[in-house]
Chains A and B, each alone.
Chain A
């Protein structure tokens, strides 16, 4: 089965600090995604990538940057964390030609 891992699994950050969330997949998938999940909002797409060294903005990119240094790794960066960025963040991957996405276990981020 497809494998997507995320680190850390939980993090407490201070307002204004820098946060980096990491995602690693061993599926050999081309596409990777970052979502945030808040109660009542389902999953909202932040950034995505179709190929290494290239990222695209999703529906809610403000306050977030993304980096895809290799096919396997995709990072989400919060340069100046804010209280409103407290949420659970999920990474996902999918292969070219398929719409099904495989999700990681999530990272619970709390910004104080």
Chain B
């Protein structure tokens, strides 16, 4: 069964820091990778996505995908307390429209 592993499980960083969240996956044929953010008590919401190897930047957020190393990451520059949330990585399940989610990283940004 395809899996997505996330690390670390939780992370506390000071305001203004660079935050890095990581995911590894088992299927190099995967075509769609995304990060979802879930604030406490709220619905998960798509943050960014990428289809092919490389990097994508949107504001303070950057995602990296390296299919050869089966690694996918999210970097947050100048982390803010409002970034505190559960971050879930996801990838498309081969041959379907389903997404497989990682178990999440709980990020806390301290003022």
Contact = CB atoms under 8 A, between A and B. Distances in A.
Partners in one complex: yes
Interface of A: 4, 31, 33, 35, 40-45, 48, 50, 58-59, 90, 94, 99-106
A105 B43 contact: yes
Contacts, number: 45
Chain B interface SS verdict (over half)? loop
Interface residues on B, range: 20 to 34
Given A42-B103, A42-B104, A100-B34, A48 B98 contact: yes
A43 B97 contact: no
B49 A106 contact: no
Closest 7 CB pairs of A and B: A103-B43, A42-B103, A43-B101, A42-B101, A99-B32, A100-B46, A42-B104
B45 A103 contact: yes
